[in-house]
Amino acid sequence: MGKAETVRKAEELVKRAMKGNDASHDAAHVFRVRDLALSLAREEALSSPDSLEIVELAALLHDIGDYKYMRDLSEAKVAQNFLEEQGVEESKRMKILSIINGMGFKDELAGLTSIHYSPEFGVVQDADRLDAIGAIGIARCFTFGGSRSRVLHDPSIQPRSDLSKEQYMKREEQTTVNHFHEKLLKLKDLMKTKAGKKRAENRHKVMEDFLKEFYEEWDGRA
């Protein structure tokens, strides 16, 4: 099956599989990440058809089977099954699944992200993280918090430091604003590519400015 047809079917799978998700992790998020990843790939001089196919399919499939939305364990295999059904050759399939399985923040906390990551891994992970920060990131953060009925802000609950993977995944008692300090403000310095680092600078500043204003308004100083 040709690349264009495989991509089209991946887009259909994303729309179908993520239809019930809240707007922080919906198909629009995935398509933004795909576009960002391809843009970063061009800036990083990743121009071979094989590299671009790996980047695009990994970006499209990266949130299929996200643990935060899984209803049953079989969903963790959806991306793998899709690639096999589409006849994607094994070497590409393994690279795509390696990117998907290793790009999460929780995996970085656990030290599972290899220092010998591929260029394709770098641009896909950076693209996903860019969509988690800046104006879009702020909107997504509060959308997700609202979907989980999370407290907006509580000055008595301090952000957790030196998080382990297990602690990060247990966020029931955390506030939405603390998520900025526990994860989002850290992402700028975790970008893997030069292109990602450059784009992250402004998005990071947007969040810093927002939080400064937020705290001033919360305390009645603005």
The domain locations on the chain are 3-218
pLDDT > 70: percent of the chain: 86
- pLDDT reported for residue 1: 65
pLDDT at 159 over 80: yes
Choose among 77, 73, 81, 69: nearest CA to 101. 77
> Does domain 3-218 fall into CATH 3.90.550.10?
no
> How many angstroms separate the Cα of 124 from the Cα of each of 20, 150, 151?
24, 29, 31
Unique residue bearing structure tokens 């001089």: 45
CB-CB contact of 22 with 143 (8 Å)? yes
Mean of pLDDT values over 51-64: 96
Q: What is the mean pLDDT of residues 127-143?
A: 98
Q: Which two tokens stand for residue 151?
A: 């407290």
3-state helix, strand, coil in the chain (%, to 5): 65, 0, 35
Could you tell me the pLDDT band of residue 103, with boundaries at 50, 70 and 90?
Answer: confident
Percentage with pLDDT > 90 across the chain: 76
At 164-216, the pLDDT tens digits run 556 655 655 689 999 999 999 999 999 999 999 999 999 999 999 999 999 99
39 touches 80 (CB < 8 A): no
Q: For residue 120, is it left (φ>0), alpha (ψ between -120 and 50) or beta?
A: alpha
What's the predicted TM-score (pTM) here? 0.91
Rounded Cα gap, residues 179 and 148, in angstroms: 13
